[in-house]
Amino acid sequence: MSNLINKWFFAIVILFLAGLTEIEGGELITCNNRKSKCFLKRFYCPPECPTAYPSQPNAKVCYLNCNSPMCKPECRNRKANCNHPGAACLDPRFIGGDGIVFYFHGKSNEHFSLVSDLNLQINARFIGLRPAGRPRDYTWIQALGILFDTHAFSVEATKAEIWDDEVDHLKFYYDGKELGIPEGYPSTWESSESSSIKVERTSSKNGALITLSEVAEISVNAVPITKEDDRIHNYQLPSDDCFAHLDVQFRFYGLSTKVEGVLGRTYQPDFKNPAKLGVAMPVVGGEDKYRTPTLLSPNCNSCIFSPAGVLEESDPLVMDFGALDCTGGSSSGHGIVCRK
């Protein structure tokens, strides 16, 4: 009799746990960020996004935000979201860590530091053109150069006369060598000497997620200037170039309070954004402060990156502003006001 009771008891426990898994949503995921108070804690994915690796590239993924106060799983798109903090899209339109929208035009065929911290630097190559009678260049981000530890990584959108969605326009380089990352979802590449950098295709072509372990996630999408864009903005594009460029969204984990760069400075806790609120296109300057000689150069007038740079224990870290969602209202819930 007792054996029968034990069998029934274990059967009930198994059914309960199976039901709990279904109620909680899906697979268990673990926080692997050693800097987080949630390190090695496990959580169930919510029902809206039950897995961190969905079979379809456009499906929302389960993401464990180790830097949020609740350490809870969230649903998000892996493609660059141009309307969230950390975005750099269009010509180019940024959303800072403070949630404020601003434009930084730079100059065509020059390079500027978007983020410069003690252990990370991200530069951008701008492409563009200046139609007759216009006072400035129209510019777009064509490539990113990333410096971390003693390594260099870059991603670029290749030039195209006419855009074709069936052609992959992304190229990747690691320490000077081109990476042959196969097309297709979810094709991945990871550095062999360490697991510090990983590249995952978020679609079969023209989309990728670059992960620097415990430092940053960078979503990139290669996109063209369409004929409709050209008509609306009167860019006056030539017939042999659709100005393929990158739409980008950054998520940072553990920036220092000293972080600099066109975008990076907006993550400083006491930063006062000079962008004028209520203006259709609030433009901010800084070309002289953030211009770099090449895509992979650590040098600019305000850059602080060092190849051996490490965060000092006495240097407080900035909150994970890159995970804020400003779509649900004016307040982020973290003491930051989201503005558009």
Counting the structural domains of the chain, the total is 2
Residue 221: inside a domain: yes
Residue 190 sits in the same domain as residue 222: yes
Residue 28 sits in the same domain as residue 148: no
pTM: 0.82
Residue 141 sits in the same domain as residue 277: yes
Domain of residue 160: give its range: 77-290
Residue 58 sits in the same domain as residue 129: no
Please give the single-letter amino acid code of residue 319: M
Is the model's pLDDT at 19 over the cut of 50? no
Residue 10: inside a domain: no
Residue 64 sits in the same domain as residue 88: no
Query: In which band, very low, low, confident or very high, does the pLDDT at 35 lie, cut at 50, 70 and 90?
Result: confident
Residue 161 sits in the same domain as residue 256: yes
Residue 323: inside a domain: no
In percent, how much of the chain has pLDDT > 70? 81
pLDDT (average), residues 112-140: 93
Residue 195: inside a domain: yes
Residue 246: inside a domain: yes
Residue 26 sits in the same domain as residue 86: no
- In the block, residue with structure tokens 């991945």: 188
Is the model's pLDDT at 71 over the cut of 70? yes
Return the pLDDT at 330.
Answer: 35
Residue 154: inside a domain: yes
Residue 33 sits in the same domain as residue 174: no
pLDDT digits (tens, 9 = 90+) for 190-244: 998 766 899 999 999 999 999 998 899 999 999 999 999 999 988 999 999 999 9
Residue 139 sits in the same domain as residue 221: yes
Residue 329: inside a domain: no
Residue 239 sits in the same domain as residue 213: yes
Is the model's pLDDT at 332 over the cut of 60? no
Residue 81 sits in the same domain as residue 65: no
Is the model's pLDDT at 327 over the cut of 50? no
Spell out where the chain has E strands. Answer: 28-30, 42-44, 61-64, 73-76, 87-89, 93-95, 101-103, 111-117, 120-129, 138-148, 151-157, 170-174, 177-179, 188-190, 197-201, 207-212, 216-223, 245-252, 291-292
Tokens read off for 239: 């017939």
Is the model's pLDDT at 148 over the cut of 80? yes
Residue 11: inside a domain: no
